[in-house]
Every structure is written in C-alpha cells, then in structure tokens.
Structure 1
Amino acid sequence: MREPIRHIVFDIGKVLIHYDPNLPYSRIIPDEAERRWFFDNVCTHDWNLEQDRGRGWAEAEAEVIARYPEREEQIRAFRLNWHEMVPYAYEDSVAIMKGLIDAGRDVTMLTNFAADTFRDARRMYPFLDLPRGVTVSGEIGLLKPDVAIYQRHAADFGLDPAASLFIDDVTVNVEGARAAGWQAVQFLGADKLRADLKDLGVEV
C-alpha cells in the first residue's frame, strides 16, 4: 500500500526550464561534427557534472585548458554563454508546480546544478523562488542519483520519504529516489505528469 503523497519534489533542468549547451555552441563551433567532438572530448558531460558537484569554474577551466590549450576561448565560452543554454521555461509544467503550491501542497526542488549558475537561473526565472526551498548539488557536494542527496533533502526539509514524490526527467535519478525510499515518476511532459499525479491521488 502506497503512502499518500504529502511532499512533491521537482527537478529543474528539462522539467521546469530548458537546457541545451548546443544553443550557444552552434554559433561558437558552427561545424556539427566538430561541435560533437568538443562535447565528447573537451567540455564533456562528466566535466560539467563536477561543477554540479561543487567544483569552481576557474579550476574546471584550468583543468581542461591544460589538455586543450588551443581550445581555450571555446572552453571559457561555456560559462560565459551559459545563460543562452537555458533560454525558456516549460510554462505548462511550471503551471503545474504553481497550481500545487496554490493548492497548499508542500513543494520543494532538488537539482544537480552548479551553485553560481543556479543563482543566475533564479534571477532569470523568479518562479524558482516559489517552492518552500531547494537542494542544489553544487552547494552541498552531493549529486543525484546518489542516495545521500535524497536523504539530505528529506532531512533538511522534514520530508517523510515514503510520502514524498520526486519528479525528474532522467531515469537513473528517478531510480535513485526510489532507492532512497521515495515515490518517483519520470518527467515525459506536462500531460504525462498530470496523469501521473492523478494516479497518485494528487489533483492539479
């Protein structure tokens, strides 16, 4: 028997706001094959994830510039043009989140995000200040899908894991939440989220 949902926790990137590093880099590195090589070898997903874990940009840039000095300008462009990577919010899923808050639901956020870029995101998207609070990976040195970050969030915000629902677009992050004893659904669009919430007894 599932616990009724009392706490709803949103991921942010690709759930509430769009994220795509190709947006500025299609201008910076116009050739698609070269751009793909750059993201596969230079400013990789794993490299960027370390900033989400708390590594500062100066250290991150220095580490990869040492290996690819000829790419220095393109490497530094990642942070300089980060705002272009998050060009708009998903208004339909933001509306769901706002509706839950307006209905008196306990809503928080849990995100893999560098500390400084999250501050930028908050300035760009004021609705990120509407939930009761947020756990930002770069501020605490823990990353999804590690069980520890879900446990930390639950402890910090007084959540009962069994009565908590996590919403994330990435399968392994959903699985991490379940491993921590939470309920969780994968975000595949606002319509699916509405249906998932309804199935769990949460009206929106």
Structure 2
Amino acid sequence: MAAKVVVFDFGGVLIDWNPDYLYRKLIADEFERRRFLTEVCSMDWVVQQDGGQPIDKGTGELVARFPEHEALIRAFYARWHEMIGGVIAEGAALVEKLEAAGVPLFGLTNWSAETFPWAWERFDVLRRFRDIVVSGHVKLVKPDPAIYAEMFSRIERHLPGVAPNEIVFIDDNIKNARAATSLGWQGVHHTSAATTEARLRELGVAVGT
C-alpha cells in the first residue's frame, strides 16, 4: 500500500533552530558553551517546556539549581528568537512539491506553546498544513506514543479510514522517527531534503517536480 499522508516535524526539518546561535554570543569558549547546554540548559530541560510546563516555572526551577548561571539561564527564553536561523529552504521546497501534488500534509512538533506563536506569525510554511499537533498545547512530547495517537486522530478526522502505514512521518530525531515506525507508520529519519524526498518516492508518495 503506497503512503499518501505526510507528517512533518518542524525544528531541524523546516525551521532552523539551534541554541548555539544565541549562546555563541554569550559564552565564547566552545567547551564551556557545550557544557552549559548539556548540563544546565539541557534538552531534557527544554522538553519539559515543550511538554507544557510554563516557561517561568521551568526557568525559576533551573535558576534555583544553578544560581551562578542565572543570567545565562534567563536568556534562554528571553532571547529565544535569537536561536532561530529562519526557514530551511530545502525543507520548505519539499512542502511545496508535496502540496502541489495534492498530498495531505500535517505537522507534529515538540515546541513550547509559549514560543510557537512567534514562529507561526513569521514563517508562512507553518501554515501549509491541514492540522498541527504542538506538544506544548497537548502536554505530550515525542516519542511518547500518546502524541502520535493524538496526531492520528486528527488525521483521521480529515481522512476517515486512513491506515497507519499510509502515513509518513519525517523527523530529524531518529528516536522520534523510530517511534512512528513502531506504531506502524513509515518513519523517516531526516538528514537532508534530498534523501527524504528520495525516500518519499520509494514509499509511493506523489511528489511534484
């Protein structure tokens, strides 16, 4: 059965998000910067806000743990927009090809409900999808199977009778792609738009020229 629905992750696929863009300005030493982003403002901490924890609460708790880094911690969300490099052109072009071919498109992203509106207002590519599950809104995060179930229920409303193996999920995080595969979807680990497009064609997705 050919795949006929494509679900996109956003960060790293369509939107260039990288904390280094901000913290290179704040921590000159690369080793210290890596240590800070690994041990203090870690991805595990970021995922808490992506999962619905209020930014003020998450920031306050982290400052209490690392008071010596208070200014750097508070900068994370106060200057969050400086971590955004913009739209990834190749990813946006793939969205356009799929849209032109009539492929139903959906979004599934780990993103704080408090920061997502900033991107939504600025990047038109995010408004090309029939529906989007934002982790901060539903208080679930990838790779929790429950967030995929929420996405599936949204897709089913638009496309009654859709089968899991007709859905392709594209994510730059291999764990998230594998989680989709484990649920019967076609998980694609995104490393470049070209390789993802080739994989979509292998799966029978109609990709325009």
Is the Cα–Cα contact under 8 Å of residues 113 and 134 in structure 2 kept in the other structure?
A: yes
**For 1:202, which of 180, 201, 205 is the aligned residue?**
205
Amino acid paired to 2:96: K
Deviations 1:140-186 (A, max 9, x none): 11111111111111012215312111011111101110112211111
1:98 deviates by: 1.6
Residue identity opposite 1:156 in structure 2: R
Give SS of 2:143's match.
Answer: coil
Task: Give the superposition deviation at 1:81.
Answer: 1.5
Aligned-pair identity in percent equals 39
Residue of structure 2 aligned with 1:127, choices 122, 125, 128: 125
Question: Which whole-Å deviations, capped at 9, do the CAs of 1:94-143 have from their partners, x for residues lacking one?
Answer: 11112211221100010111112111111221210111110011111111
Shift of 1:54: 0.6
Match of 1:184 in 2: 187
CA contact (8 A) 1:147 1:179 kept: no
Tell me which amino acid in the other structure corresponds to 1:161: P
- What letter matches 1:168 in structure 2? D
Determine if contact 1:7/1:106 at 8 Å carries over to the other structure: yes
Name structure 1 gaps, 5 residues minimum.
none
* Residue 138 (structure 2) aligns with: 140
- 3-state secondary structure, aligned to 2:86: coil
Pairing 1:4-19 to 2, within 5 Å after superposition: 4-19=2-17
Give 1:200 shift.
1.1
TM-score normalized by structure 2? 0.92
* 1:167-178 map, 5 Å: 167-178=170-181
Considering only aligned residues, what root-mean-square deviation do their CA atoms show, in Å?
1.2
Of the three residues 138, 146, 153, the one matched with 2:151 is 153
* Local SS of the residue matching 1:88: strand
- Pairwise CA distance, 1:76: 0.7
2:4·2:206 contact (CA, 8 Å) conserved in 1? Answer: no
How far apart are residue 20 of structure 1 and its match?
Answer: 0.8
Matched letter for residue 65 of structure 1: V
